Amino acid sequence: QVKLLQSGAALVKPGASVKMSCKASGYTFTDYWVSWVKQSHGKSLEWIGEIYPNSGATNFNEKFKGKATLTVDKSTSTAYMELSRLTSEDSAIYYCTRPYYGSYDYWGQGVMVTVSS
Amino acid sequence: VQMTQSPSYLAASPGESVSISCKASKSISNNLAWYQEKPGKANKLLIHSGSTLQSGTPSRFSGSGSGTDFTLTIRSLESEDFAVYYCQQYNEYPDTFGAGTKLELK
């Protein structure tokens, strides 16, 4: 069955970067985009961007351009998102998802990122 | 596209029926999905294309609407349905989500 397994929680200092992973299994990784979604504490969901593993093509929400970098490793069916120049506003749960005709049919369990000195 | 979801909180009892509204700031055709969020579980896609049940979604869930107004209805609530529900439009970039509705046990 399809699974998206994300890396563990991260505690990072302001100004630093964090890189998280999303390992896909149960389907052909290169056939589907991978999207990333942010959920700030007690708030709703924001689409960050997406990457197509087969080509490395990306699309971003303007709000996250320069903040998020998306990459993949096709050999391990793993997608990565790196967030840079972290501030308290970046403290949130980050999900990887598999787009399905615009909606998202599978979600990772989420990575909690805490930005604190 | 702004998505306005209401109510924010909803208290109901098992066996009851409830409805959740999602309004888009502009027409999104039927490009709307509904999700269920439960603690310790991955978010679950319930409905896409406004009214199409995702495989595995119980038939007591239904979605309706097009254009700007959409509704998620859950008939004969079961204990497992108490959760947070989100709508999402995918008619244009960037995708946007409603603020969520927390369905609580009365």
| Beta carbons of B86 and A45 less than 8 Å apart | yes
Q: Which of A47, A63, A107 lies at the smallest CB-CB distance from B43? A: A107
Where residue A42 falls among pLDDT bands split at 50, 70, 90?
Answer: confident
> What percentage of residues in chain A have a pLDDT greater than 90?
96
* Alpha-carbon gap, residue A70 to B35, rounded angstroms: 24
Query: In sequence order, which residues have a C-beta less than 8 Å from that of residue A109 and are 6 or more positions away?
Result: A4, A5, A6, B42
Question: Which residues of chain A have a CB within 8 Å of the CB of B90?
Answer: 102-103
* Alpha-carbon gap, residue A81 to A21, rounded angstroms: 7
Complete DSSP assignment for B3-57: EEEE-SEEEE-TT--EEEEEEESS--TT-EEEEEE-TTS--EEEEETTTEEPTT-
Query: In sequence order, which residues have a C-beta less than 8 Å from that of residue B27 and are 6 or more positions away?
Result: B67, B68, B91
| Beta carbons of A100 and B100 less than 8 Å apart | no
B40's tokens? 């310790």
| Beta carbons of B42 and A100 less than 8 Å apart | no
Query: In sequence order, which residues have a C-beta less than 8 Å from that of residue A42 and are 6 or more positions away?
Result: none
- Amino acid letter, residue B86: Y
Cβ atoms of A20 and A34 within 8 Å: the answer is: no
Mean pLDDT by 10 residues, chain B (106 residues): 97 97 98 96 97 97 98 97 97 95 96
Whether chain B has a CB inside 8 Å of the CB on A26: the answer is no
Where residue A41 falls among pLDDT bands split at 50, 70, 90?
Answer: confident
Question: Which residues of chain B have a CB within 8 Å of the CB of A62?
Answer: 94
Q: What is the pLDDT of residue A31?
A: 96
- Average pLDDT on A30-58 reads 94
* Alpha-carbon gap, residue A26 to A35, rounded angstroms: 17
| Beta carbons of A62 and B42 less than 8 Å apart | no
Beta bridge partners of B47: B34, B53
| Beta carbons of B42 and A61 less than 8 Å apart | no
The per-residue pLDDT for range A58-81, each reduced to its tens digit, is 999 999 999 999 999 999 999 999
Question: Which residues of chain B have a CB within 8 Å of the CB of A98?
Answer: none
Question: Chain A, 2-21: which have a CB under 8 Å from a chain B CB?
Answer: 4
Q: Is the pLDDT of residue A43 over 80?
A: no
- Give the SS3 label for residue B45: strand
* Alpha-carbon gap, residue A53 to A97, rounded angstroms: 13
Q: Which of B48, B86, B91 lies at the smallest CB-CB distance from A44? A: B86
- Amino acid letter, residue A31: D
